[in-house]
Amino acid sequence: MTVTILDMNAGHANVGVQAIIDQVEAHGLSAKVVDVRGGEPLPRWPQALIGTGGPGSPADGGTGIEACAALLDRCIDLEVPVLGICFTFQLMCRTVGAIVRPLRRPRMGITQLSGRSRDRWLGPVGIGPVFENRTLGVFGKGDFRPLETEGEQVIAARFSHNAVGCVFHPEADPESVRVFLANREHIQVDPERGDVFSRQADRLGHTRQVLLGGFLRGLQEPLPE
């Protein structure tokens, strides 16, 4: 099976894409990267999709965003496996009716999942912590089932039997986070605190078991209804 990785980084170098590729290939699957915001053509009938994080807001539009939203919507309807991360998750939520708006305080660093979800892809339940780097949040109700919430904010959600997403970065691990934090020009939120989170990165040792690992295992095993 080929997993299409929708790179939403708008040309910005980002270790997250390579981290996703590494995990896809470690599960014995093939990876194909499409530079969505660089105008590369989207697949018409992908076998599976992982959409990455990226700078900016999906509400701002731009090259490839409308076409990508339509592709994600079609894949959700057709039960193509989809994992949306950060920017892509926000795009998916906005497409199905939720509100995506700036946070009062941007979020960067390591946060703990609540452990309330019992979703088959979210984890070992409550295994957190996870890494996030964002200025936007998802609020309100949409055509999805929230998996993880923080007050009124939706942290992770399921859109269909085979489609899920989150605002954090399940591809992150200690090494990739340290590399990311070392390149301050690519950090969107509070680059001056990079050293703090670099020292905390060891806490992310199990992050890839949260969502990304479950999603990739789900591509290889029949999923229960």
3-state SS class at 63: coil
Could you say which residues of the chain have pLDDT below 50? 194
Q: Read off the pTM.
A: 0.90
User: What are the E-state strand segments in 112-191?
Assistant: 130-139, 145-150, 153-160, 163-166
8 A C-beta contact, residue 134 and residue 189: yes
Looking at residue 187, what is its pLDDT?
Answer: 58
CA gap 56, 64 in Å, rounded: 14
Residue 224: predicted pLDDT: 54
Q: What is the pLDDT of residue 138?
A: 97
